[in-house]
Amino acid sequence: MSLNPLQQYYLQQMGINVYLQRMEKPDNTDDVVAEPSSTFDSVAWETLRREVATCGKCELYKGRTQTVFGVGNPQADWLIIGEAPGAEEDRQGEPFVGRAGKLLNAMLLAIGLQREEVFIANILKCRPPNNRDPRPEEVASCKNYLRIQIEIVQPRIILAVGRVAAQNLLETDTPIGRMRGQRYQYADTGIPVVVTYHPAYLLRSPGEKRKAWQDLQTALKIYRESE
C-alpha cells in the first residue's frame, strides 16, 4: 500500500526512508480513529485534575511552575506515556512540546493519528530539577494519579515512550532495547503496552528512528487486532 503525501512527509520528518518503508506499512493506516468511550467519568476526571494541580506529595512541588496533567482527548483509544515534564513543559503546562513534541506529533501522524486524538501524559506531573531522572519516591507519589488516569481513559493501547516511562509503567529494570518489539500488559487491566524510544533520544540518535517506526507499526497492529 502506498503512503499518501502527508504520511510520506511525516515519515521524512522522522528521518525514515519512505521508499524502504512502503512495503512495511500496515493496511489502512490512514483510518485510525479514536472513538469516545461511552463510560467516561467527567466528574472523576476534573476531580483528579484539581487534586493534581494542588499536589504536594513530594518535594518537586516546591520548584514547579505548574503541574502537567496531560493533554489531548481523555476518551482516546491511544494513551501515550512519557517520563516527566521538562523546562518548557513546566512553563506551558503541557507534555511533549518543543522539538521532541514536534517529532512525537510526526510519529503519530505517520500512523494516521492527530495529537488531539490521543491522550498524552507522563509518569511524573512535576518537573525534576535539571531534567534529571525521576527518583523512586517521586514516581511512587505520582503513581496513583497515572493509575486513575488510565482507569478513566480506558485506552485500548498504551505507548510507553522512553526508558523511564517503560520501566516504571511495567515495573521492570529491563533495558529499553530489549523491551521493544513485544506486547506487554499494564498491571492486570489487559490493556496492551508497546515500548518505544523517547523523541528526545531519537533527536540525539537519529539512526534509531527506523526502530521507532517499527515500534509504531507493532502498536498499530496490536490496536487493529483489538477492534
Asked, for residue 4, whether it belongs to a domain, the answer is: no
Asked, for residue 186, whether it belongs to a domain, the answer is: yes
Asked, for residue 64, whether it belongs to a domain, the answer is: yes
- CA pair distance 118, 80, nearest whole angstrom: 7
Q: Please classify residue 10 by burial: count the beta carbons closer than 10 Å to its beta carbon, then call 0-12 exposed, 13-18 middle and 19+ buried.
A: buried
Asked, for residue 98, whether it belongs to a domain, the answer is: yes
Convert the pLDDT of each residue in 6-54 to its tens digit.
Answer: 556 556 665 655 433 433 444 454 555 555 555 899 999 999 999 999 9
Contact 95, 89 (CB under 8 A): yes
The number of distinct structural domains making up the chain is 1
Asked, for residue 206, whether it belongs to a domain, the answer is: yes
Asked, for residue 31, whether it belongs to a domain, the answer is: no
Asked, for residue 20, whether it belongs to a domain, the answer is: no
Asked, for residue 24, whether it belongs to a domain, the answer is: no
- In angstroms and rounded to an integer, the radius of gyration of the C-alpha atoms of the chain is 17
Q: 90 lies in which domain range?
A: 41-225
- Portion of the chain with pLDDT greater than 70, in percent: 83
Q: From residue 196, give the alpha-carbon distance in Å to each of 91, 140, 166, 221, 226.
A: 26, 23, 8, 15, 20
Task: Specify the CATH number for the domain of residue 94.
Answer: 3.40.470.10
Predicted model pTM: 0.86
What pLDDT does 39 receive? 81
What pLDDT does 19 receive? 36
What pLDDT does 32 receive? 56
Contact 81, 158 (CB under 8 A): yes
